[in-house]
């Protein structure tokens, strides 16, 4: 029986490996290129590359060649990537070496070109696929910062398959945030927070990719953002850095995608819970404690007036989106609850007050009722006019009706009703207000 030799015979592979073992001082490009080509198709060649010593040599070649020969860097990267295909031994060896070589290839201001950066991401994908120790080490070494940079700089130029790979890799690594934080023995937040400029870029990604991603990939990107948006320290950074409007834009653009999908669409079922998560993150951001009032005095006025109040009024007029109205009520209610500065003309805006009452009168959405009631409580504590409006609109009857099917709302509405009556009985006439039944 006649046998066929592989594209590159094993003797040549062994010779190339020997050349690497002897020295990396000589020009290694030819030997590494041969190994890269052989390992593309040959499983035995990949296994030869999977040894810790060879992998360390390849990473050293990358580090010493990054400023002189991108050709050498690229073929060495391909060798590492090929060695780690479905090979946990190789992945473990690379993880133990560390990822300084990858950081050199990805960093801003390095001599590597965009093609090398994309190739580095593909190599990291092979290493991190189904291997959490590598994902965790990448997070510890903050490679996600550079991957966010790569996503932000290259949003309109990468092929769709490359973007999907890059976003999946970024999600894998960022998903290790809590585990890495738990493993850290120090109190530093450096490894679990984001520098301000990286946070800004992360927040910008959903907008940059809003038209180019399929719903499933867009959902993965939102999940990556939410990993950080749920962190109280990052919520504080979002507020201080005046990034509430861009985070709101993420919610709004997700709602645009949802509105284009059928009620029974699987993609819709994927995206709706993400809107809910974004709403709660926005709510938590607005409630963030310990921020000096002077830091926020004028920063959020435009956001509140142009975005939040508009969303609430639109929802009340059936021209808006219920989830955006919920977000508006949550955000404004928590800003007031936490004592953050809100312009008096917002609190005293009669049209806003009537819009909140209209939501309570007309909506059947439990979450919207809950959020609007919470906002109404906060507005009423700041404004006698709101209390008077409640009474003028047969408020006690309204409170009873809204509390009918909700124990929580019964308690909240009873509290508000008592405040309304007590604050409006200056002439001495009082009325007993019972909890709605």
What is the per-residue pLDDT across 289-327, written as a single tens digit (0 to 9) for each?
Answer: 877 666 665 557 788 988 999 999 999 887 668 999 999
CATH code (residue 111): 1.25.10.10
How far apart are alpha carbons 184 and 319 in whole angstroms?
Answer: 49
Between 427 and 308, residue with greater pLDDT: 308
406: pLDDT strictly greater than 60: no
In a domain, 205, yes or no: no
Number of domains in the chain: 1
The tokens for 422 are 């007590």
Mutual angle of helices 10-22 and 52-65, in 10-degree steps = 60
In a domain, 298, yes or no: no
pLDDT, the chain, mean: 82
- pTM of the entire predicted model: 0.85
How far apart are alpha carbons 418 and 437 in whole angstroms?
Answer: 15
Chain segment 344-389, per-residue pLDDT in tens:
888 888 889 889 888 888 888 888 988 988 898 888 876 666 666 6
In a domain, 130, yes or no: yes
Answer for the pair 118, 78: CB distance below 8 angstroms, yes or no. no
22: pLDDT strictly greater than 70: no
Closest CA to 378 of 322, 434, 320, 308: 308
**What percentage of the chain exceeds 70 in pLDDT?**
75
pLDDT confidence tier of residue 110, bands split at 50, 70 and 90: low
412-432: average pLDDT = 50
Kindly give, in sequence order, each residue whose CB lies less than 8 Å from that of residue 108, ignoring residues fewer than 6 positions away.
Answer: 146, 149
* Res 176: pLDDT: 96
393-418: average pLDDT = 56
106: pLDDT strictly greater than 90: yes
Between 288 and 127, residue with greater pLDDT: 127
In a domain, 62, yes or no: yes
Q: Domain range for residue 89? A: 1-180
**What percentage of the chain exceeds 90 in pLDDT?**
46
430: pLDDT strictly greater than 50: no
In a domain, 257, yes or no: no
In a domain, 339, yes or no: no
SS3 for 252? helix
């Amino acid at each position: 029986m006649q046998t066929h030799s592989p594209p590159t015979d094993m003797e040549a592979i062994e010779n190339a490996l020997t050349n690497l073992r002897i020295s990396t001082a000589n020009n290694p490009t030819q030997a590494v290129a041969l190994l890269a080509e052989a390992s593309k198709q040959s499983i035995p060649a990949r296994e030869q590359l999977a040894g810790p010593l060879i992998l360390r040599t390849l990473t050293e070649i990358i580090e010493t060649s990054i400023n002189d020969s991108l050709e050498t860097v690229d073929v060495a990267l391909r060798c590492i990537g090929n060695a780690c295909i479905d090979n946990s031994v190789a992945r473990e060896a690379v993880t133990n070496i560390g990822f300084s070589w990858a950081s050199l290839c990805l960093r801003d201001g390095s001599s590597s070109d965009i093609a090398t950066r994309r190739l580095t991401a593909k190599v990291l994908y092979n290493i991190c696929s189904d291997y959490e120790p590598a994902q965790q080490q990448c997070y510890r070494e903050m490679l996600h910062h550079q991957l966010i940079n790569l996503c932000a700089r290259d949003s309109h130029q990468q092929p769709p398959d490359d973007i999907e790979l890059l976003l999946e890799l970024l999600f894998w690594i960022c998903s290790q945030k809590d585990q890495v934080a738990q493993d850290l023995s120090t109190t530093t937040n450096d490894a679990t927070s984001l520098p301000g400029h990286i946070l800004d870029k992360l927040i910008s990604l959903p907008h940059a990719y809003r038209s180019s991603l399929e719903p499933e990939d867009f959902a993965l990107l939102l999940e990556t953002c939410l990993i950080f948006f749920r962190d109280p320290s990052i919520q504080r950074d979002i507020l201080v850095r005046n990034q509430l409007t861009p985070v709101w834009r993420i919610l709004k653009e997700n709602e645009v995608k949802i509105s284009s999908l059928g009620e029974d669409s699987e993609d819709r079922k994927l995206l709706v819970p993400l809107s809910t998560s974004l709403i709660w993150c926005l709510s938590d951001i607005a409630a963030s404690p310990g921020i000096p009032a002077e830091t926020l005095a004028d920063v959020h006025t435009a956001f509140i007036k142009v975005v939040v109040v508009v969303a609430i009024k639109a929802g009340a007029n059936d021209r808006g989106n219920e989830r955006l109205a919920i977000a508006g009520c949550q955000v404004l209610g928590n800003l007031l609850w936490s004592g953050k500065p809100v312009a008096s003309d917002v609190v005293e805006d009669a049209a806003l007050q009537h819009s909140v009452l209209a939501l309570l009168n007309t909506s059947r959405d439990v979450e919207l009722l809950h959020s609007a009631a919470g906002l109404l409580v906060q507005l009423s504590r700041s404004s006698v006019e709101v209390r008077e409006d409640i009474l003028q609109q047969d408020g006690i009857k309204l409170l009873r009706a809204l509390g009918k099917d909700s124990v929580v709302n019964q308690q909240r509405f009873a509290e508000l009703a008592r405040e309304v009556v007590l604050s409006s009985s200056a002439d001495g006439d009082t009325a007993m207000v019972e909890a709605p039944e």
